[in-house]
Chain A
């Protein structure tokens, strides 16, 4: 059976499964729609959280980024896992005890202010929409390669599927679908990794294979071999090449961690468990399921890089026959060239292809008779999807990876869309503009808001800016600088009041948006950037993606200063804070 048919069957089967689950677990009340009736077991919730959390960026882009950044890619690994520690200890149990449906609802009540609630809704929508853009790019890449349809058609199919199960099932449908999606995506991610690790090192566990010797009998460690070959070709050493300076690595990681803990679609997952105790444990289970993929990713990245180089550099660097002949390039390269995500050109006319870093290799290239790097385009986002083809794995594995990538993108998109929809229908409509809306009408409004959010996401998906993982990183900066500090101050500082919270959120969000737009262009239109997005222009070498941590510090400082110089919050709010600090009496769902 050819690859295309096989892919259609595998992807089609997973879609049928998701829709069947959605019909089975249809939402009947607003409680079902927003928080799945608060009856999800912590392990199941952990698994759903993991799928919700692991986006197209985690599945498709991250290993590719690590493959080309080497050690510098660690910011994504530590940043996107360490936030769960913050979540489990600083937010999740207290927010569960508070027992409401949305993040702005907590902020509105804790800071006894509709203004604070509306600011929180704005922060939530900005962060979530930015994040959705990253998912759309992922869906487009997966579809355009595997279904051999154009980007926009693929996107429409993906959006229709989300539409059906998210609008119908709400959080209840999404939760059970996400459990199925986790199984699909983790299977799809680990199977090729196990095969490739086995081929290269003889060790079937990728986490151990990465630290093992090569299976070719040379006794050389895989990472040492990789370091050697990349430096011979002028690239930076794999295991030490950092991502900007040390301060940038530090703040980038911190931004991703705080952002993780501040992302509304992750936080609302902890409203769905029955008890405070379950909220703590659920964060642990979520991280277990996430870590399965995240500890495999460094192996996938390093091995994909080594395989790619070995495909092109078949002999000694600089020897006349050291490079692969253009006529003998493997089939998978031809297939990816058609998508425009991979490209090459025989610049020196020797009939062979050279892949090296021009600046790093310097004069040596001319001595070898090389006239420039001939791999003119290697899109990092293709590394995971091309991986099984690079390693000559059977077609069913390739089909499975396509289904896994799509599962990752769909599960995250659904979670984000729910967070956006609930903040519109519950916080804006019911909370501010139409206080006496009936439950039935609120449920309908939630569904309409969700459909609207899908349309907006679809439009942005057709005009996506940048690498999926980098766009997503911006959403983290925004969540880190606005939502996380307001939540944490609300729980840990009884003196924090509404003026402080609003001023803090606006200062944090404003400074971060300004820094990002300054270098990336206003609203991401590159032509309007105020300064070139290069390290020389950044303040202290801090990249726009890493600025969220600074924004969060500004938020904390402003909120603290303003709160402690204005009137303290009323008595009943101080009692509310004392009450959420103890687990007893968490009770069931309540919307009032």
Chain B
């Protein structure tokens, strides 16, 4: 790491990315699957009530997508700040 300000900037960008990802993580599971489940259940997705679908299907698909999004964004960030491996 060359210089502390660059290191601090890398860490700040990382934290911002984590914050965005965890906000989505919270919305699709806790908000849509638990807190707002009743109003969302009024909407139907095929035979699924929407809130029920988020709780038993949708949240898990979004979790998978989030991790891969985070991993690829971090790989880019590592290169941008020249802290990547090999």
- A residues engaging B (CB < 8 A)? 66, 71, 73-74, 77-78, 81-82, 84-86, 88-90, 93, 207-208, 210-213, 221-224, 239-240, 246, 249-250, 253-254, 275-277, 280-281, 283-284, 287-288, 291, 294-295, 298, 578, 581-586
**What's the least CB distance linking A49 to chain B, in Å?**
12
Question: A residues within 8 A CB of B38?
Answer: 240
User: Given A74-B33, A85-B66, A223-B52, list of 13 further CB < 8 A pairs?
Assistant: A71-B52, A78-B59, A84-B63, A211-B48, A212-B46, A239-B41, A249-B34, A250-B30, A253-B29, A275-B85, A277-B84, A291-B60, A583-B83
Verify B29–A82 contact, CB threshold 8 A: yes
22 A–B contacts from the bound complex (CB under 8 Å): A71-B52, A77-B56, A78-B29, A82-B25, A82-B29, A82-B59, A82-B63, A89-B22, A89-B70, A211-B48, A221-B47, A223-B48, A240-B52, A246-B35, A253-B34, A277-B85, A280-B67, A284-B67, A287-B64, A291-B60, A295-B61, A578-B7
Per a CB cutoff under 8 Å, which of A246, A280, A288, A298 touches B71?
Answer: A280
**What's the least CB distance linking B55 to chain A, in Å?**
4
Per a CB cutoff under 8 Å, which of A85, A213, A298, A583 touches B22?
Answer: A85
Within 8 A of A (CB), among B32-86: 33-35, 37-38, 41, 45-49, 52-53, 55-57, 59-61, 63-64, 66-68, 70-71, 74-75, 78, 83-86
* Complex alpha-carbon distance, A81 and B29, angstroms: 11
Per a CB cutoff under 8 Å, which of B14, B35, B47, B55 touches A78?
Answer: B55
Per a CB cutoff under 8 Å, which of A85, A208, A239, A287 touches B52?
Answer: A239
**What's the least CB distance linking A64 to chain B, in Å?**
15
Report whether over half of chain B's contact residues are helix, strand or loop; otherwise say mixed: helix
Question: A residues within 8 A CB of B55?
Answer: 71, 74, 77-78
* Complex alpha-carbon distance, A459 and B74, angstroms: 46
Verify B34–A294 contact, CB threshold 8 A: no
**What's the least CB distance linking A195 to chain B, in Å?**
20
Report how many A-B pairs have Cβ atoms within 8 Å.
Answer: 142
Per a CB cutoff under 8 Å, which of B35, B45, B53, B67 touches A287?
Answer: B67
Per a CB cutoff under 8 Å, which of A66, A283, A298, A584 touches B85?
Answer: A584
Q: Which residue of A lies closest to B68 (CB)?
A: A284
Q: Which residue of B lies closest to A66 (CB)?
A: B56
**What's the least CB distance linking A427 to chain B, in Å?**
28
Verify A213–B10 contact, CB threshold 8 A: no
* Complex alpha-carbon distance, A210 and B75, angstroms: 37
Verify B63–A583 contact, CB threshold 8 A: no
Verify A583–B61 contact, CB threshold 8 A: no
Known: A77-B60, A284-B71. A584 touches B47 (CB 8 A): no
Per a CB cutoff under 8 Å, which of B56, B60, B67, B84 touches A283?
Answer: B67
Give me the 7 closest cross-chain CB pairs, A-B, nearest first.
Answer: A221-B47, A74-B55, A284-B67, A211-B46, A280-B71, A298-B56, A211-B47
Known: A249-B34, A250-B30. A582 touches B1 (CB 8 A): yes
Question: A residues within 8 A CB of B56?
Answer: 66, 71, 73-74, 77, 298
* Complex alpha-carbon distance, A583 and B41, angstroms: 44
Q: Which residue of A lies closest to B53 (CB)?
A: A211
Q: Which residue of A lies closest to B49 (CB)?
A: A239
Verify B67–A584 contact, CB threshold 8 A: no
* Complex alpha-carbon distance, A35 and B11, angstroms: 28
Question: B residues within 8 A CB of A89?
Answer: 18, 21-22, 67, 70
Known: A85-B67, A287-B67, A578-B7. A211 touches B45 (CB 8 A): yes
Question: A residues within 8 A CB of B78?
Answer: 277, 583-584
Question: B residues within 8 A CB of A283?
Answer: 67, 71
Question: A residues within 8 A CB of B60?
Answer: 77-78, 81, 291, 294-295
Known: A71-B52, A78-B29, A280-B70. A85 touches B34 (CB 8 A): no
Verify A221–B46 contact, CB threshold 8 A: yes
Q: Which residue of B lies closest to A301 (CB)?
A: B56
**What's the least CB distance linking A540 to chain B, in Å?**
15
Verify A88–B70 contact, CB threshold 8 A: yes
Known: A89-B22, A250-B30. A81 touches B63 (CB 8 A): yes
Per a CB cutoff under 8 Å, which of A85, A254, A582 touches B63?
Answer: A85
Verify A584–B84 contact, CB threshold 8 A: yes
Which of A71, A294, A578, A581 has the most B CB atoms < 10 Å from its CB?
Answer: A71
Question: A residues within 8 A CB of B35?
Answer: 246, 250
Question: B residues within 8 A CB of A93?
Answer: 74
Question: A residues within 8 A CB of B84?
Answer: 277, 583-584
Question: A residues within 8 A CB of B18?
Answer: 89-90
Known: A77-B55, A88-B70. A224 touches B47 (CB 8 A): yes
Question: A residues within 8 A CB of B74?
Answer: 93, 277, 280
